[in-house]
Amino acid sequence: MLISNDAGVDALLQEDEVAQVVEVTLALEGVERPCEVSVSFVDLDEMRALNAEWRHIDAPTDVLSFECDSPFDEGLPADETVELGDVMLAPDVIAGQASEFGQTPVEECRLMLVHGLLHLLGYDHIAEDEALLMEGREEAILRELAIRRGDDPDTVRIGPTTRHVAD
């Protein structure tokens, strides 16, 4: 796993928690192969540029995922490490929207990281049924992470964050 913060932004999550979120998400999704994942914390300018280039939306967003290979691709050699992809997080956007969803910035960042990882694993949220499935997986993963932190999993709440209503 590669965690980067070249812009020096407040990442909201410590590196050990980022690693745990990645490991738990992959495990709960049934990923048994070794994977390489990159998680980058970027500033508003970089996120705006990435969003403009890849989604043709000239505004920063909270998270972007760039999928490479699927750990479920039977065509990949079994002994090969899977390059899962990159998750880009914009902590300033995440912190700014957290209260809108009744979250702390840290809680919202955890959710956005799980959300980005699920995209790398093939989840999407274009259709309503896909969004509901993705949100269910997000909540289940966040509940397991809460248990592992010693927090009450019943306090985990997510909003309808997987829909791109404004896009």
Residues annotated in the binding site for Zn(2+), as ranges? 115, 119, 125
Annotated binding site: 115, 119, 125
Q: 158 vs 36, 44, 48, 131, CA distance in Å?
A: 27, 23, 24, 12
Strands 63-67 and 82-89: antiparallel
Question: Hey, how many other C-beta atoms are within 10 angstroms of the C-beta on 148?
Answer: 11
Chain centroid to Cα 64, Å, comes to: 8
Decide if 82 contacts 76 (C-beta within 8 A).
yes
